[in-house]
Structures are given as C-alpha cells and as structure tokens.
Amino acid sequence: MQPAFYTPETYETSCEVYRRHMSLRKKGRHPLWIPQPNLQLPLEYRRRGTQVGDVGIITEDGAFDFMFNICAPATSPTNPSNLPVGFQPIYPPILPENEVVVLTEHSARDALTSRGISKQAL
C-alpha cells in the first residue's frame, strides 16, 4: 500500500533522484546512474570506456547507449559494422589528445553515501 501522499506525478525513479542530487552539487551536466558500458559492446570499447567522439544517447534509466565514434575509422574494433551510409570519421579529431582533460575526483573504491549511511569493513 502506497502512502497517502504518493501520486504517480510526484514519484521519482532512482536515477532521477541521483541526477537531481548530483546536479545540485554541480557534479556533471548529465550524471549517469549506470556509468559502466553495456556488456554487449565489443571488449575493446568496454576496456577503453567512453572517449572523445563517442556518439550515443543518454537513456531514461541514466546510461550512455553508445552508437559509434565519429573520430575513429570505420574499421575500428569499437565501431559497429552498420555505420551510417557515407560515414567519414573526423580527422584529425576535433580536440587534440593533449587538450583532453581527465580528472578523477573519486577512486573506484570510494563509497558515496548520504549523511545517515556509513561504510563498514566486512
């Protein structure tokens, strides 16, 4: 049974709550609830992760749905075989590699929690 104050219009999904809270802290323009790549993508793509030139869609559930990379050649192992007709990569890439800034605010072992939750060793 839902509480009396519940209405479908006021209900937020987990990814909407996450996006709202991260946006309030200015932690990304489109914070991703599911940041890891789709496990059905080529292994090469999953190893390298999202790169400059990746074209895709941010899904309703907060994932990045990769389609292709506009900077990579059609023969790249990360690009699918069904590229748009007449596909030509942008070469050189719009941003030279030395102009791409990569920052890490949190390590893979960090836990992000609210005030009422703490992390304990098992």
- Domain encompassing residue 76: 32-99
| pLDDT-derived band at 95, boundaries 50, 70, 90 | low
In a domain, 14, yes or no: no
In a domain, 27, yes or no: no
In a domain, 94, yes or no: yes
- Domain count of the fold of the chain: 1
Q: Which two tokens stand for residue 26?
A: 């200015």
Contact 77, 93 (CB under 8 A): no
Q: Write the pLDDT tens digit of every residue in 4-51.
A: 565 656 678 888 888 888 888 887 777 888 888 889 998 888 988 888
In a domain, 106, yes or no: no
β 54-58/64-69 pair status: antiparallel
Contact 71, 77 (CB under 8 A): no
Is the bond preceding residue 92 a cis peptide, omega within 30 degrees?
yes
81/9: higher pLDDT:
81
Which string of b and e fits 32-42 if b means at least 16 CB within 10 Å? Answer: bbeeebeeeee
In a domain, 43, yes or no: yes
Cα distance between residue 81 and residue 76, in whole Å: 9
